[in-house]
Amino acid sequence: MMALGLESSAPNFKALTTNGPIDFYDWLGDSWGLLFSHPEDYTPVCTTELGAVAQLEKEFSDRNVKAIALSVDSLESHNGWKLEIEKSMNVKIGFPIIADEDAKIAQLYGMIHKYSSDTHTIRSVFIIGADKKIKLHLTYPMSVGRNFDEILRVIDALQLSSQHQVVTPANWKQGDDVIVDPSLSNEEAEKLYPYKVPKKAEYLRFTPNPSAD
């Protein structure tokens, strides 16, 4: 199977989860999606990651993003582990965890890398737009926990670029200036966004964040 590229359609699937059976597309509705895999239940790094997402659930909800986790463990295992995470990290997990025991969804999304493990999913992250297209794909090794503040930052940047003809510079965060989309001519850009450029780099057309209040 070819790797899923950016702007390709996110494969739909049916699955059993800790919140009941779902059809992925129906479950997403008109929301964005954060689909992320973890190697195994009852492991320390994964526990901190699911706890971190639970702590940030309002942040995701405010951005119209639904989070959903996956591993190749059973539903029974997920349900028991979920209770442990909630107690140990003092959180409430509202998002579903997919039980993918036959690894069909993991294979569909390329979440198992044979040189890392033949059976366990690596730490994949897929950001899926409301149009069901893949907007971002990140891959972390099993030994490194993800930075979900960075994932929120990227979602902010993706949603901004989907609504306005702007792109975001290095280390951008919500509220910072952005850059006018390079595909716009100067004449087009001037009609849409007030911008200024540094000396000797006229293509760096910085403009205030158009979504700012």
Which residue spans of the chain are classified as CATH 3.40.30.10? 14-145
Mark whether 46 is an active-site residue: yes
Percentages (nearest 5) of helix, strand, coil residues in the chain: 30, 20, 50
34 sits in the region (left: phi over 0; alpha: psi -120 to 50; else beta) called: beta
Q: Which CATH class is domain 14-145?
A: alpha beta
Per-residue pLDDT of the chain (213 residues; tens, 9 = 90+): 446 899 999 999 999 999 999 999 999 999 999 999 998 889 899 999 999 999 999 999 999 999 999 988 999 999 999 999 999 999 999 999 999 988 899 889 988 766 555 556 668 899 999 999 999 999 888 889 999 999 999 999 999 999 999 999 999 999 899 999 999 998 888 888 888 777 778 888 999 998 875
CA–CA distance, 15 with 12 (Å, rounded to integer): 10
148: tokens are 């979900």
Cα-trace Rg, the chain: 19
Q: Has domain 164-207 been given CATH number 3.30.1020.10?
A: yes
Annotated catalytic residue, options 46, 65, 97, 142 = 46
Question: What is the sign of the dihedral through the CA atoms of 46, 47, 52 and 53?
Answer: positive
**Burial of 74: CB neighbours in 10 Å, binned 0-12, 13-18, 19+:** middle
> How do beta strands 65-71 and 32-37 pair?
parallel
15, 104, 91, 77: which is closest to 49 by C-alpha? 91
Which residue spans of the chain are classified as CATH 3.30.1020.10? 164-207
